[in-house]
Chain A
Amino acid sequence: MYTYRSAVISNGSFSEFTENALRGFKFLFFEVSMAGPSSMVGMQGFSGNTVMSQTCFPDFGEIEESTAGYSAFSTCSPNSIFSSSNPSGAVVPPFKHSRLRENIDVSEICSPYEMGICSGYYNSQKGRIMPDSKEQFENVGDSGIGDASQHTDTSMDVDKDDINQFMQNEALISVDSVERAKSQKGGQKTFHRLAQNREAARKSRLKKKAYVQQLESSQLKLNQMEQELKSMRQQGMLMYCGNTGDQCQKMAGTGASSFDAEYVRWLDAHRQKINNLQLAINANVGDNDLRTLVDGVIAHYDDMFRLKSMGAKHDVFHMLSGMWTTPAERCFMWLGGFRSSELLRILGDSLEPLTDQQVMSVCNLQQSSVQAEDALSQGMEALQQSLAESLSSASLGPSGSGNVGNYMSQMAIAMGKLGTLENFLHQADLLRQQTMRQMHRILTTRQAAQALLVINDYFSRLRALSSLWLLRSRNRTFA
Chain B
Amino acid sequence: MARNSGGGGGVGGGGGGGAAAGAMGGGSSDPLERIERLASENAVVIFSISSCCMCHAIKRLFCGMGVNPTVYELDEEPRGGKDIEKALMRLLATPSPLPVVFIGGKLVGSMDRVMASHINGSLVPLLKEAASSEGRGCDDARQHQYLASD
Interface residues, chain A, CB within 8 Å of chain B?
Answer: 361, 364-365, 368-369, 371-372, 374-376, 378-380, 382-383, 386, 417, 420, 423-424, 426-427, 430-431, 434-435, 437-438, 441
Residues 91-150 of B contacting A (Cβ, < 8 Å) = 111-112, 115-116, 118-121, 123-124
Q: Is the CB of B65 within 8 A of A424?
A: no
Contacts of A420 in B (CB 8 A): 52-54
Q: Is the CB of A427 within 8 A of B115?
A: yes
B51 in the interface (beta carbon within 8 A): yes
Measured in the bound complex, the distance between the Cα atoms of B114 and A427 in whole Å is: 11
Q: Is the CB of B118 within 8 A of A372?
A: yes
Known: A368-B123, A378-B57. 17 other contacts (CB 8 A): A371-B64, A374-B61, A375-B58, A375-B60, A379-B56, A379-B58, A380-B53, A382-B56, A382-B57, A386-B53, A424-B57, A427-B111, A427-B112, A430-B115, A431-B119, A437-B120, A438-B119
Measured in the bound complex, the distance between the Cα atoms of B64 and A374 in whole Å is: 8
Q: Is the CB of B53 within 8 A of A430?
A: no
Partner of A368, one of B60, B111, B119: B119
Minimal Cβ-Cβ distance residue in B for A384: B53
Measured in the bound complex, the distance between the Cα atoms of B51 and A371 in whole Å is: 22
Contacts of B115 in A (CB 8 A): 372, 427, 430-431, 434
Q: Is the CB of A369 within 8 A of B53?
A: no
Q: Is the CB of A417 within 8 A of B53?
A: yes
- Most B-side CB within 10 Å, residue of A369, A372, A424: A372
| Known contacts A365-B119, A434-B119, A438-B119, A371 near B61 by CB under 8 Å | yes
Contacts of A426 in B (CB 8 A): 112
Minimal Cβ-Cβ distance residue in B for A432: B119
Measured in the bound complex, the distance between the Cα atoms of B123 and A361 in whole Å is: 14
Q: Is the CB of B64 within 8 A of A375?
A: yes
Contacts of B65 in A (CB 8 A): 371
- Most B-side CB within 10 Å, residue of A383, A435, A441: A383
Measured in the bound complex, the distance between the Cα atoms of B65 and A396 in whole Å is: 38
Q: Is the CB of B119 within 8 A of A375?
A: no
Q: Is the CB of B60 within 8 A of A378?
A: yes
Measured in the bound complex, the distance between the Cα atoms of B115 and A374 in whole Å is: 12
Contacts of A380 in B (CB 8 A): 53, 57
Minimal Cβ-Cβ distance residue in A for B120: A438
Q: Is the CB of B54 within 8 A of A430?
A: no
Partner of A379, one of B60, B119, B123, B124: B60
Q: 16 A-B pairs, CB-CB below 8 angstroms? A: A361-B121, A365-B119, A371-B118, A372-B115, A374-B64, A375-B57, A375-B60, A378-B56, A379-B53, A382-B56, A383-B53, A386-B51, A417-B53, A420-B53, A434-B116, A438-B119
If over half of A's interface residues share one DSSP class (helix, strand or loop), that class is named, otherwise mixed; here it is helix
Contacts of A434 in B (CB 8 A): 115-116, 119-120
If over half of B's interface residues share one DSSP class (helix, strand or loop), that class is named, otherwise mixed; here it is helix
Give the distance to chain A from B5, nearest Cβ to Cβ, in Å.
17
Measured in the bound complex, the distance between the Cα atoms of B119 and A369 in whole Å is: 6
Interface residues, chain B, CB within 8 Å of chain A?
Answer: 51-54, 56-58, 60-61, 64-65, 111-112, 115-116, 118-121, 123-124
Give the distance to chain A from B100, nearest Cβ to Cβ, in Å.
15
Minimal Cβ-Cβ distance residue in B for A435: B119
Measured in the bound complex, the distance between the Cα atoms of B120 and A431 in whole Å is: 10
Give the distance to chain B from A434, nearest Cβ to Cβ, in Å.
4
Q: Is the CB of B57 within 8 A of A430?
A: no
Partner of A438, one of B52, B54, B121, B123: B121
Give the distance to chain B from A417, nearest Cβ to Cβ, in Å.
7
Contacts of B60 in A (CB 8 A): 374-375, 378-379
Minimal Cβ-Cβ distance residue in B for A417: B53
Minimal Cβ-Cβ distance residue in B for A340: B119
Give the distance to chain B from A454, nearest Cβ to Cβ, in Å.
20
Contacts of A369 in B (CB 8 A): 119
Measured in the bound complex, the distance between the Cα atoms of B115 and A424 in whole Å is: 12
Minimal Cβ-Cβ distance residue in B for A416: B51
Measured in the bound complex, the distance between the Cα atoms of B115 and A375 in whole Å is: 10
Contacts of A386 in B (CB 8 A): 51, 53
- Most A-side CB within 10 Å, residue of B52, B54, B119: B119
Give the distance to chain A from B59, nearest Cβ to Cβ, in Å.
8
Partner of B118, one of A361, A368, A441: A368
Measured in the bound complex, the distance between the Cα atoms of B119 and A437 in whole Å is: 9
- Most B-side CB within 10 Å, residue of A376, A380, A386, A426: A376
Measured in the bound complex, the distance between the Cα atoms of B122 and A438 in whole Å is: 12
Minimal Cβ-Cβ distance residue in A for B52: A420
Give the distance to chain B from A334, nearest Cβ to Cβ, in Å.
14
Contacts of A375 in B (CB 8 A): 57-58, 60-61, 64
7 closest A-B pairs by beta carbon, nearest first, are A379-B57, A375-B61, A434-B119, A383-B53, A378-B60, A382-B56, A375-B60
Minimal Cβ-Cβ distance residue in A for B113: A430
Give the distance to chain B from A147, nearest Cβ to Cβ, in Å.
100
Minimal Cβ-Cβ distance residue in B for A431: B115
Contacts of A368 in B (CB 8 A): 118-119, 121, 123
Contacts of B118 in A (CB 8 A): 368, 371-372
Give the distance to chain B from A61, nearest Cβ to Cβ, in Å.
86
Give the distance to chain A from B15, nearest Cβ to Cβ, in Å.
29
Contacts of A427 in B (CB 8 A): 54, 57, 111-112, 115
Minimal Cβ-Cβ distance residue in B for A420: B53
